[in-house]
Structure 1
Amino acid sequence: MSFTVRVGRKRAAGAALAAVLLAGGAVGCGSEKSDKAGEDMAPVAAVKKAADKTEDLTSFTFRMKGTVPGDGRVQADAAMSIKPLAMQMKMSAPDQGPEKMELRYVDGGVYLGGGEAAAKEMDGKSWIKFDAKAMEKAGGKSAATSASAQADNNPADQSTLLTGSKDLKKVGSETVGGVETTHYTGTVTLDQMRKLLENEDAATKKRREKGIKQYEDMGVEKLTMDMWIDGEDHTKQFRARGKGDKGRLDMTITFIDYNKPVNVEAPPKAQVMDLSKEMKGLQG
């Protein structure tokens, strides 16, 4: 397998994972129902109510589409389990190449599948395996370490960041994926996000700081965030936009389902090429 193709696939996987880490965090979970989407309450109260229900999140399925600074366009369909951590994502990153790929994270390993195109270059093996934990210890900054970082980071935490907005407002009622929702929007800076953490316990603060750092690493200092909240106070859709050092961030995630079993299996060993040692050398 050529160096160019290998790095290209790694970059595409990294782009998709960056999108998940950055914008995948706006799910509110709970069983309380109201008569209409988002209820008739002040915008801050409605957004906070959805954000406060994130702790019960165990799994979700979603679609995402948008752009990531430095990596370009990304689109994907995915399912993710929080405990135990597992993820399966079918994705494409057109600006990194024409190939469609599948990414699986299971049992600490990241598997990137390229289908028939990959098999032609890897002696019939269509999957590449990255050892996330080993690469993290080696100081790597790859797609594998990005996925590993999710292990203790509930992706729903980022929904709390919009509550720090000083200009949060209700846009109106909209239908998203056949579901009636209430649309809210506001802008928030990284400093405002950090201020929200002052009264949190140490564990929560540490976990939520990871989400803020993702924006910081992209050079995004201010975000426009939109949330579409349904009648059960779930966030049905979330959009994050901002200007980074290497371009614009504009990512929309639409949530399909919540708290249903997500089963992710590692590909058959005969179809996997383990590149852990080689990738450690590339990181060096």
Structure 2
Amino acid sequence: MLGGGAGACGTGGESSSGKSAQTSAPALTPSEAVAKAAEDSADITSLRYRITGSVPDQGQLTVDAAMSTAPLSMTMELTMADQRAKGPLSIRFAGKAMYVGGGALDIRKLGRSANLDPDKLNGKSWLRIEPAAWGLISVDNQSYGVLPHQVEGSPIVQSTLLTGAKNAKKIGAETILGARTTHYRGTVTFDGLRAAQDAATDKASRERQTRSLDQFIALELDKNLIMDLWIDDDGRTRQFRMRGATYKMPVKAGEEPTVGDPVDMTVAFLRINEPVTVTTPSAGDTTDVGALLDAQTG
């Protein structure tokens, strides 16, 4: 009786009919796997991530960053190709302010045309600028020219762009950051993302697709985006890569946009939903840019 009971209750044995009592979920198609990863991204409340690659007009870059979604805040160490000898640029977003410091800080380039006097820092290591915003809809972001447009967006939102690909396909199994993943690839287009937005059947999906479409526009792509996405066995994004030609807006009115340098960025999700605290520098080591501009312009 005990033996019979154990056989009846087991999940790994066979029934009296000889068929396995275990049932496995049907395998997801590439489009379904990508859509599920995008849906699950809504549950990410904090993220540590790394970016490597190149962006237009700036060249090679590396980024080590951590972010929190509630409240929205971020800490980043950004290294550009021409700044490696000086060390990374340190950036913090907290509240409605941005803090910038580090060996690569050049106050004269801040805001592209502010032309502030470096001597006005009075030996302080950090600049404070507000209002500033990062990780929002692109028209709401404001980093005063410190960040390339391509890294002003939230990587959580950028990871959902492959939902706009009609040709998503499975490349194969790969190990990423020690985790077993499935590699997918597809071509993302504006029309594809717009169609996905129109096809959304609920508010959450529409908002997600709207943010994805916005991030596609913010990348300043000439036409299409080639995107690779690595999804782990839990259905979550572990890494994605974005590649595509960009456009440059004309300097003179009436001229057509021209093709710019390509963007090629790989974003790795290092830690998900672990506590992230963004610490801002002390007031005693911070210079307010607004006050500097007021003093400079009278």
Q: Conserved in 2, the CA contact under 8 Å of 1:92 and 1:98?
A: no
Task: Find 1:82's aligned residue among 69, 77, 99.
Answer: 69
CA distance 1:160–1:90, change in 2 (3 Å): closer
Aligned to 2:223: 221
> Quick check: 1:265 aligned with 2:279?
yes
How far apart are residue 98 of structure 1 and its match?
3.9
Cα distance change on mapping 1:163 and 1:279 into 2, 3 Å = farther
Query: Where does residue 198 of structure 1 map in the other structure?
Result: 198
Q: Unaligned regions of 5+ residues in structure 2, if any?
A: 1-25, 108-117, 248-259
Question: In structure 2, the residue corresponding to 1:198 is in which secondary structure?
Answer: helix
- Report which stretch shifted further, 251-260 or 69-78: 69-78
- Partner residue of 1:64 out of 25, 41, 51: 51
1:241 and 2:243 correspond: yes
SS of residue in 1 equivalent to 2:167 = coil
Q: Equivalent residue of 1:70, what SS?
A: coil
Distance in 1 (CA, whole Å) between partners of 2:93 and 2:144 is 13
The yes-or-no answer on 1:275 pairing with 2:274 is no
Change (3 A) 1:168 1:63: same
Q: Matched residues in 2 for 1:276 and 1:140: separation?
A: 15
Higher RCO, 1 vs 2 (CA within 8 Å, ≥6 residues apart): 1
Residues in 2 aligned to 1:281 and 1:221: alpha-carbon distance in whole angstroms: 45
Q: Hey, what does 2:32 align to over in structure 1?
A: 45
Q: Give 2:130's aligned amino acid.
A: D
Q: TM-score, normalised to structure 2's length? A: 0.69
Higher helix share: 1
Percent identity over the alignment is 35
> For 1:193 and 1:267, how far apart are their aligned partners in 2?
40
Matched residue of 1:247: which SS?
coil
Letter in 1 for 2:180: E
SS of match in other structure, 1:166: coil
Q: CA RMSD in A?
A: 3.5
Residue type of the partner of 2:282? P
* Residue 127 (structure 2) pairs with residue 125 (structure 1): no
Amino acid at match of 2:266: T
Matches within 5 A, 1:152-167: 155-167=155-167
Displacement of 1:208 in angstroms is: 3.7
Q: Which residue of 2 aligns with 1:105?
A: 93
Match 1:207 to one of 201, 206, 211: 211
SS at match of 2:128: strand
Corresponding residue number in structure 2 for 1:179 = 179
User: In the alignment, is the contact (CA less than 8 A) between 2:161 and 2:212 conserved in 1?
Assistant: no
Once the two structures are superposed, residues 244-263 of structure 1 have per-residue CA deviations (whole angstroms, 9 ceiling, x without a partner) of: 12200000001111111111
- CA offset at residue 219 of structure 1? 3.7
Note if contact 2:64-2:76 (Cα within 8 Å) is conserved in structure 1.
Answer: yes
User: Displacement, 1:280?
Assistant: 9.0
The structure with the larger Rg is 2
Distance 1:95 1:116, change over 3 A: closer
Q: Pick closer, same or farther for the CA change 1:47–1:281 going to 2, 3 Å.
A: farther
Distance in 2, Cα, partners of 1:165 & 1:205 = 12
Tell me how far 1:176 sits from its aligned partner: 0.9
Aligned residue for 1:45, secondary structure, equals helix
AA paired with 1:53?
A: D
Secondary structure in structure 1 of the residue aligned to 2:124: coil
Give SS of 1:91's match.
Answer: strand
TM normalised by structure 1 equals 0.72
Partner of 1:169: 169
Counterpart-to-counterpart distance in 2, 1:140 and 1:49: 31
- Structure 1: gaps spanning 5 or more residues: 1-38
Contact 1:132/1:145 (8 A) holds in 2: no
